[in-house]
Structure 1
Amino acid sequence: MDLKLAGKVAVITGSSKGIGRETAAVLTEEGAVVILTARNEESLQDAVQYIKDRTGRTVDYVTADVTNEADAKKVIAFAAEKYGHLDILINNAGSAFAENFENVSLDDWQNDLNLKLFGWIHMIHAALPELKKQGGAILNLTAVAGKTPPANTSPTSVSRAAGLALTNTLSKDLAPYNIRVNAVCIGLIRSGQIERRWQAEAPEQSWEDYARDPKFNIPLGRIGDTREAANVISFLVSDAASYVTGTAVNIDGGSAPSL
């Protein structure tokens, strides 16, 4: 299927590693112009090289902290000034701070909301003037815990639930401008965090054996790969999904108890 992404301009936050970096690679393979952004310049440079090795193309990057409104505006201004338009915004920057409610400080709450909720808000506010010119797509990455929060997951599951509500309301507010807004809810996907857990729990096992351990209770029988997540994200921001908005797709191998 031709996703018709050639020439589309996409900004991806938190794209120096993991799913963000892999999504950037897939979009680049599909012909999109991709702008990476994250806080660490060295990691961004590594991501640029990774994508060049994969695709033969060089992508741009802007060092930025999405919790800072001025930085968010800087990223979008770079895209608009260099390429004249913006078609896709993917909000991927985030972290997973999970604890029992009684152990979470007010600073912990504020830091989590600043990154996972207000980071989205800053980027969307900055991007809207460009997206409204010709329509486009916003894709927010969150976690299945945002739909069905388990115990001891404050503040992260609460921030993610707020992000899902934001996604749904924005899909209605922005539909008149032909701006689609969707989310993906990530389950267990191979990442630096998961690999560290593997090395701490079972360094004697191969990754393949560890990823298929029944303790993870994944119906498809294994931990997912970043490429699998990136493929779904790329579809949702493409014209192939032109009638999809206001939804949150689970990418979790069937493990979430919610739809």
Structure 2
Amino acid sequence: MELNLTGKVAIITGSSKGIGYYTAMQLVKEGAKVVLCARGEKQLQVAAGCIKNETGEEVLIVPTDTTKEKDCKKLIERTIGHYGQIDILINNAGTASANPFEAVSSKLWQADLDLKVFGAIHCSKYAVPYMRKVGGGAIVNVTAVMAKTPPASSLPTTVSRAAGLALTKAMSRDLGRDNIRVNSVCIGLIRSDQLEKKWKREEPNLSWEEYSHNIGQAIPLGRVGDTQEAANVITFLVSDAASYVTGTAINIDGGSGHAL
């Protein structure tokens, strides 16, 4: 299957580690020019060095706080200044925040919405005009499978992620005529920085293999997903192989979700 990513320019937020980093690595291997962004410059430098060591290719790093619109604008401007175009945007920046409704402060609500919803809005807002200039593009909003069927004590994350799903559908309707495709991936139990922190916090005496085996038993496929598996789906969605796919949300959850 030809993915046709050679010469494409891709921005990935939250890409110093986890799913964002693995996706960046995969896109570089498929021929794309990649921009890494996250808040921590040192972590970005480490990620860029790892990609260089494995692929031989340089990536652009832009330290960015996507909760700030001015940083999102700067990210797009730096990308254009360096590569001259934007074809792909992956809105991946986010954290896990799951609490009972009454335990969520106004400050936490605002911080979560700023990061997961307005970060995607602002990055997309500034990237879309440049996608139009090259005849189209692809945007992927990384959300969570719980956004479709929120369980108890899952706030504010599930609300922010559900807003991301609505944003995806609405954007796909508005931007389709410009050949800009917008999709979501809904992440379930995938080995990520967030899940590893939970493991070390809750079961520090267990190895990763033991911990993941225990929590993976309730998943139909019987295991926790690998980070690379999420990166593979995202890479497909931004490629020409998915040229007729837009306005949809794909679960990457081993079958654990309760909604299609």
Partner of 2:198: 197
Cα distance in 1 between the residues matched to 2:51 and 2:7: 17
Query: Structure 1 vs Structure 2: percent identity of aligned residues?
Result: 61
Alignment of 1:16-27 (within 5 A): 16-27=16-27
Cα distance in 2 between the residues matched to 1:17 and 1:155: 23
Alignment of 1:1-259 (within 5 A): 1-133=1-133, 134-213=135-214, 216-259=217-260
Q: Deviation at 1:78?
A: 1.4
Cα distance in 2 between the residues matched to 1:119 and 1:55: 29
Cα 1:10–1:172 shift into 2, 3 Å = same
Q: Deviation at 1:84?
A: 1.6
Cα distance in 2 between the residues matched to 1:215 and 1:190: 11
Q: Is the 8 A contact 2:38 2:65 kept in 1?
A: yes
- Uncovered stretches (5+) of structure 2, i.e. residues with no partner: none
- After TM superposition, which residue ranges in structure 1, 4 or more long, deviate above 4 angstroms? none
- CA distances 1:114-173 after superposition (whole Å, capped 9, x unpaired): 111000111011101101111000000010111110000111101110110000010000
Q: What RMSD, in angstroms, separates the aligned Cα atoms of the two structures?
A: 1.3
Q: Is the 8 A contact 2:216 2:222 kept in 1?
A: no
Cα 1:212–1:35 shift into 2, 3 Å = same
Helix, strand or coil for the counterpart of 1:66?
Answer: coil
Cα distance in 2 between the residues matched to 1:53 and 1:2: 25
Cα distance in 2 between the residues matched to 1:215 and 1:135: 39
Q: Deviation at 1:98?
A: 1.1
TM-score by length of 2: 0.96
Which stretch shows the higher mean deviation, 90-99 or 205-214? 205-214
Helix, strand or coil for the counterpart of 1:10?
Answer: strand
- CA distances 1:67-103 after superposition (whole Å, capped 9, x unpaired): 1111111111111122221100000001111111111
- CA distances 1:182-204 after superposition (whole Å, capped 9, x unpaired): 00000011122222333344444
Which stretch shows the higher mean deviation, 241-250 or 127-136? 127-136
Helix, strand or coil for the counterpart of 2:62?
Answer: strand
Helix, strand or coil for the counterpart of 2:132?
Answer: helix
Cα distance in 1 between the residues matched to 2:12 and 2:179: 20
Cα 1:216–1:150 shift into 2, 3 Å = farther
Cα distance in 2 between the residues matched to 1:22 and 1:215: 21
Helix, strand or coil for the counterpart of 1:118?
Answer: helix
Cα distance in 2 between the residues matched to 1:241 and 1:124: 20
Q: Which amino acid aligns with 1:6?
A: T
- Uncovered stretches (5+) of structure 1, i.e. residues with no partner: none
Cα distance in 2 between the residues matched to 1:194 and 1:46: 21
Cα 1:105–1:203 shift into 2, 3 Å = closer
